[in-house]
Structure 1
């Protein structure tokens, strides 16, 4: 199988990866949107978990990762629920990791163990500890393929960042002592700027905020009334939305109708009267850079980087307050 990606190019992948890509578990992710329910308000926010998962796999490959790590990268988001992280808000799960909490059980009950067994791979060893894969997953503020891919993919798609800039950044990546290290302070500062566009400008876009508010409330009502179950959350976005709409709840119907058009809103301070207040999970990056014979966090050698990171953290801690008409 030849796999094509706008960011990383085309690669011929091993049969095990091709088999997993064509599995129903991976194909489901073609209708699970990264932006969650915001897609219902703004149809251009249409990146899917499938695209991101393919991207993570290919980036790991590009950086020299093993087939096992590519498998882990391909399947790292396979247990995401419909509309991605909206379930975390519905369940008041501030760690944003519901898909990780259910991952092991969901995989055990899927076809994935059998598919991997055909190629003599142990699914437990590969899939149940992503942190063993040092390209795939690193704790913030370090860079990892997961964090890099969704940032690059979304700034390219939603903020029109030129592909040439993205390619320059990718060329600056080096793997040193199993860590993702950038060759220049300029590239590190560039990535911090791109990351801010996603975690502040995009995640806190009022359309995003409103969609999460309304969909999470609809899910809470549906779960409480037993019109939907947690098992239903493993449907595609389209199937789950159809199930929600068929619940017969006037309150759910009214909440979903709000997403038929962009909301009218104003951003206000916490001291003012507001309708919606949200604080997302704190996310920031502080890339490693190579300077002559040493590797350091860019914030320790660049005042510009330190200021950018501090501003991102400050804005994240404040969250957003909206007045909606």
Structure 2
């Protein structure tokens, strides 16, 4: 099976990866959007968990990761609920990890264990401890394939960063002691700038914020009224939306209608009479850079990098305040 990706190219993958890619669990992710309900306001924001998951798998492959780590990468987001992280806002889960909380149970009840067993793999060993996979996951502010892929994918699609520039960045990656290290401070700062576009400019775009606010409230109301159940959260975005639209709740239907109407808002401050305040999980990067004799965070080499981190953290801690007109 040939898998093609706009960022990384074409790869012929093993039978176990083919079987997983064709599974209903992975197929579901083709209709689970990375930006959650924001695509209901802006259809251009249409990247899916499937695209990202395949990208993570291929980036791990490109960087020399084992087949087992590629499996873990492909399936790392398989338990994401409809509209992705909006459930975390609905449940006031500040760690943004509801999908991790339900991952083991979701996998146990899926076809994934049987598929992996068919090819001689132990699904529990591979899938229930992502911390063992050094390319797939690293604690922030280090780089990992998960963090790199969604950043590169979204800056290309949403901010028109050229593929040539992204591919030049990929050639600047080295693996040192199982960690992702960049060959220069310049590339590290480049990535920091791209990451800010996603976690500040995109995540805090008012249309993104409004869609999360309204969908989270609709989910809260739906769960309270039992118009939807926790099991419904593992439907696709389209199927889950249909469940909400079938509600008799005028309030739920109004919240959904909000997302199809023009937005009239202004960004204000905490001192104003605001309608929405959101503060998302704080995310920043401080990439490792290769020097002559060691690897160090770029912030230890560059005051520019230090300032960029400080500015991003300040923006993140403040969040955003919106008022409707």
What's 1:163 paired with? 163
8 Å CA contact 1:42–1:262 kept in 2: the answer is no
* Structure 1 residues 126-145: aligned runs within 5 Å: 126-145=126-145
Compute the displacement of 1:30 (Å). 0.2
What's 1:238 paired with? 238
* Structure 1 residues 182-193: aligned runs within 5 Å: 182-193=182-193
What's 2:118 paired with? 118
Q: Distance in 2 between matches of 1:268 and 1:102?
A: 37
Structure 2 residue runs of 5 or longer lacking an equivalent are none
Compute the displacement of 1:261 (Å). 2.7
* Structure 1 residues 85-100: aligned runs within 5 Å: 85-100=85-100
Compute the displacement of 1:308 (Å). 0.6
- What are the Cα deviations for residues 78-136 of structure 1, in whole angstroms up to 9, with x where unaligned? 00000000000000100000000000000000000000000010000000011100000
What's 1:211 paired with? 211
What's 1:194 paired with? 194
What's 2:71 paired with? 71
Aligned residues: 325
8 Å CA contact 1:52–1:150 kept in 2: the answer is yes
Q: Distance in 1 between matches of 2:324 and 2:253?
A: 18
State the SS of the aligned residue for 2:11: strand
State the SS of the aligned residue for 2:304: helix
What's 1:22 paired with? 22
Q: Distance in 2 between matches of 1:74 and 1:13?
A: 12
- After the TM superposition, list the runs of 4 or more consecutive aligned residues in structure 1 that deviate by more than 6 angstroms: none
TM value normalised by structure 2: 1.00
8 Å CA contact 1:207–1:262 kept in 2: the answer is no
What's 2:153 paired with? 153
Q: Distance in 2 between matches of 1:313 and 1:171?
A: 28
Q: Distance in 1 between matches of 2:207 and 2:73?
A: 30
What's 1:311 paired with? 311
What's 1:266 paired with? 266
Structure 1 residue runs of 5 or longer lacking an equivalent are none
State the SS of the aligned residue for 2:306: helix
Q: Distance in 1 between matches of 2:204 and 2:31?
A: 23
